[in-house]
A = this chain, B = another copy of it.
Amino acid sequence: MKKCLLLAILLNFNFILVAQTYKADSAMLKRISNHVLTNYQCYNDLHDLCKNIGHRISGSPQAEEAVKWGKEVMDKLGCDRVFLQEVMVPHWVRGEAKGSILTSKGKRMSVEISSLGNAIGTGAKGITAPLIKINHIDDLKRMNPADVKGKIVFYNFKFDQTNVNTFESYGPCVYYRWGAPSEAAKLGAIGVVIRSVSSAFDDKPHTGSISYDKKYPSIPAVAISNLDADRLEQLMEVERNLSFDMTTTCQMLPDVLSYNVVGEIRGSEHPEEIICFGGHLDSWDIGEGAHDDGAGVVQAIEVLRTFKQLGIRPKRTIRAILFMNEENGLRGAKRYAELAEQNNEYHILAIESDAGGATPFGFSMTMEKEKREKVKLWSNLLLPYGLYSFDREGGGADVGPLNRKFKTPVMELMPDSQRYFDMHHSANDVFENVHRRELSLGAIAMTQMVYLVSMYGL
Contacts and interface: CB of A to CB of B under 8 A. Distances in A.
Interface of A: 33-34, 37-38, 161-162, 164, 166, 199, 201, 359, 361, 384-386, 388-389, 416, 418-419, 422, 435-438, 441
B37 A161 contact: yes
Contacts of A164: 33, 37, 384-386, 441
Nearest to A200: B436
Given A199-B437, A388-B388, A437-B199, A416 B161 contact: no
Contact of A437 (B384, B386, B419, B435): B419
A30 to B, nearest CB: 8
Contact of A435 (B38, B359, B386, B419): B419
A240 to B, nearest CB: 28
Contacts of A162: 33-34, 37-38
Contacts of A386: 164, 361, 416
Of A37, A38, A164, A199, the most chain B CB neighbours within 10 A belong to A164
13 contacts: A33-B162, A33-B164, A37-B161, A38-B162, A164-B385, A164-B386, A201-B436, A359-B359, A386-B416, A388-B388, A416-B416, A418-B435, A419-B437
B33 A359 contact: no
Contacts of A419: 435, 437-438
Contacts of A161: 37-38, 437
A164 B30 CA distance: 10
A142 to B, nearest CB: 27
Contacts of A385: 164
Contacts of A435: 418-419, 422
A388 B161 CA distance: 22
Nearest to A30: B162
A186 to B, nearest CB: 33
Of A199, A359, A422, the most chain B CB neighbours within 10 A belong to A359
Of A37, A361, A418, the most chain B CB neighbours within 10 A belong to A418
A364 B339 CA distance: 50
A269 to B, nearest CB: 30
A422 B389 CA distance: 27
A166 B201 CA distance: 30
Nearest to A34: B162
Nearest to A422: B435
Contact of A418 (B38, B201, B388, B441): B441
A199 B441 CA distance: 15
A436 B201 CA distance: 10
Nearest to A384: B164
Of A38, A361, A386, A419, the most chain B CB neighbours within 10 A belong to A386
A354 to B, nearest CB: 20
A135 to B, nearest CB: 17
Contacts of A37: 161-162, 164
Contacts of A384: 164
Nearest to A388: B388
A442 B336 CA distance: 42
Contacts of A422: 435
A386 B386 CA distance: 11
Nearest to A391: B383
A33 to B, nearest CB: 7
A436 B422 CA distance: 11
A166 B419 CA distance: 21
A416 B441 CA distance: 12
A235 to B, nearest CB: 23
A354 B78 CA distance: 46
Given A161-B437, A164-B386, 17 more contacts: A34-B162, A37-B162, A37-B164, A164-B385, A164-B441, A166-B437, A359-B359, A361-B361, A361-B386, A388-B388, A416-B416, A418-B437, A418-B438, A418-B441, A419-B435, A419-B437, A419-B438
A137 B419 CA distance: 40
A388 B384 CA distance: 12
A359 B34 contact: no
Nearest to A419: B435
A388 to B, nearest CB: 5
